[in-house]
Amino acid sequence: MSDLTTAPPDEPEVEAAEAERETPFWQRLVSGSSTWIGLILVGLILVFSLLDPSAFVDSANFRNIATDAAVLLVLATGMTYVIITAGIDLSVGGVLVFSGVVAARAMNGAGGDNWGVIILGLVVALACGIAWGIVNGSLVAKARIPPLIVTLGTLGMSLGAALVITGGVDEREVPFKLISTIGIGRAFNQVPWLVIIAFAVALVFGVILAMTRFGRYTYAVGSNEEAARRAGINVDRHLIKVYALQGTLAGLAGFLSLARFSTTTIGGHDTDNLQSIAAVVIGGTSLFGGIGTMLGTVFGVFIPAVLNNGFIIVGVQAFWQQIAVGAVLIGAVYLDQLRRRSQDQR
């Protein structure tokens, strides 16, 4: 930095000006984007708790809600990065299924029921995921094809490849150890390992997003790609990394789903992409890029999960649930837009 010592302002003036200028931390927290979504989630939990306390407020029920949401949380973690760069990834369901299928084949091919086989399966799943992610990222960054189109294409390709490999038939043999430990196992007999893994993933990548250069570049690229380029950031390489991360997490999600259901559930992931996008957007991340938090995504994953669970408990007809979840999605995003518009006054 060049030294620009001009006549500096008087010391006390500087200090007074400084004191005025910094918004206190707690005030920033209250007006933070994820706080309101968190309050909505708490509100929903309260409403359902009041409507049917014995059924809803139950450790087994909360455990089930969390377990059912775990795989989606892993997907939404990667999706948060992608959407913050003003991109989108529709291929997650397909990559998940593909990774699960290949991992299952690999584990069954290797044979045995021990940690070695499980680790093999995990590595294979992650490798599949990162491969698809690099394909996505390269096409988006280098070939300059819009992410919507690229990932729509890779969705079809990955799912199609999985169908080709399996003949359309779920792979239903999975090492029992995988099921008994990660699939249905619990830490301290209370918290399912699936939930712990999902939250650990969200935590680690949330910290990276908020506190590292990689995270900041993600925001910068999403906020103003050209400005990031002019600032010397290698935007193409960064985008490839972001999509590769998303792919890797989709691969992990495929592995976790395999552990949970002991079958590749080919037909059950058609709407994973929209669900994870909805979760990220409900959590306060802007589809236009540059804004979003991982904490918001966590809330965004749990709002539909709580809704789906609560509606069944409370007795809402099955088809009404879809209407209600859609309405809440629009409502939550509308609230966030209001808050944001009130900030950008000029």
Partner 1 sequence: MSRKMWLPAGLVVLALVVAACGSSDNGGSTGTAGGSSTTAAKKNYKMTLIAGVKGDEFYITMNCGAQAKAKELGVSLDFQGPDQFDPAQQTPVVNAVAAKKPDAVLVAPTDTKAMFAPIQQMSQNGTKIVLVDTTLAQPDMAVSQIASDNEAGGRAAAEALSKLIGGKGKVFVVNVKPGISTTDARGKGFADGAKELGLTYVGQEYDNDDAAKAAAVTKAALAKNPDLKGIFATNLFSAEGAATGVREAGKLGQVKIVGFDAGPKQVEDLKAGVVQALIAQKPADIGAQGVQQAYNALTGKPTTKKIGTGSVTITKANLDQNQASLYKASC
Partner 2 sequence: MPEPLLEARGIVKNFGRVRALRGANFAVYPKEVVALVGDNGAGKSTLVKTLAGVYEPDEGEIIFEGERVTIHSPTDARGLGIETVYQDLALAAELDAGANMFLGREVMRAGVLGKLGFIDKQAMRTQSRKVFDDLGVALQDTAAPVATMSGGQRQGIAVSRAVTWASKVVFMDEPTAALGVVQTRNVLDLIARVRDQGLAVVLISHNMPEVFEVADRIEVLRLGTRVARFRRGDVSMEDVVGAMTGAITHDGEEHH
Name the residue type at position 213. R
Residue 280: CB partners within 8 Å, gap ≥ 6?
Answer: 76, 79, 80, 83, 292, 296, 297, 300
Token pair, residue 95, equals 């990559």
**Distance in Å, CB of 343 to partner 2, minimum:** 6
**Distance in Å, CB of 35 to partner 1, minimum:** 12
317 vs 237: CA distance, rounded Å: 48
Which among partner 1, partner 2, none contacts residue 222 (Cβ within 5 to 8 A by kind)? partner 2
Residue 301: CB partners within 8 Å, gap ≥ 6?
Answer: 69, 72, 73, 76, 279, 283
**Distance in Å, CB of 52 to partner 1, minimum:** 5
SS3 143: coil
Which among partner 1, partner 2, none contacts residue 113 (Cβ within 5 to 8 A by kind)? none
- The contact set with partner 2 (CB under 8 A) reads 1-6, 8-9, 14, 17-18, 20-23, 28, 208, 211-214, 216, 219-220, 222-224, 226-233, 289-291, 343-346
Which among partner 1, partner 2, none contacts residue 315 (Cβ within 5 to 8 A by kind)? partner 1
Which among partner 1, partner 2, none contacts residue 190 (Cβ within 5 to 8 A by kind)? none
Question: Which is nearer to partner 2, 22 or 190 (by Cβ)?
Answer: 22
**Segment interacting with partner 1 (CB under 8 A) among 103-111, 151-159, 217-225, 321-329:** 321-329
Question: Which is nearer to partner 1, 184 or 208 (by Cβ)?
Answer: 184
Residue 131: CB partners within 8 Å, gap ≥ 6?
Answer: 247
Residue 232: how many CA atoms within 13 Å on its side-chain side?
Answer: 0
Which among partner 1, partner 2, none contacts residue 313 (Cβ within 5 to 8 A by kind)? partner 1
Residues in the chain: 346
Which among partner 1, partner 2, none contacts residue 24 (Cβ within 5 to 8 A by kind)? none
- Helices 235-261 + 193-211 axis angle, to 10: 170
DSSP class of residue 179?
A: I
Interface with partner 1 (CB under 8 A), residue total 59
56 vs 65: CA distance, rounded Å: 10
**Distance in Å, CB of 236 to partner 2, minimum:** 12
Token pair, residue 199, equals 């939250």
Site for partner 1 in 175-194 (CB under 8 A): 184
207 vs 294: CA distance, rounded Å: 8
Which among partner 2, partner 1, none contacts residue 4 (Cβ within 5 to 8 A by kind)? partner 2
DSSP class of residue 180?
A: I
14 vs 242: CA distance, rounded Å: 41
64 binds partner 1 (CB under 8 A): yes
List of residues contacting partner 1 (CB under 8 A): 36, 40, 43-44, 47, 51-52, 54-56, 58, 60-61, 64-65, 67-68, 167-170, 172, 184, 257, 261-263, 265-271, 305, 308-320, 322, 324, 327-328, 331-332, 334-335, 338-339, 342
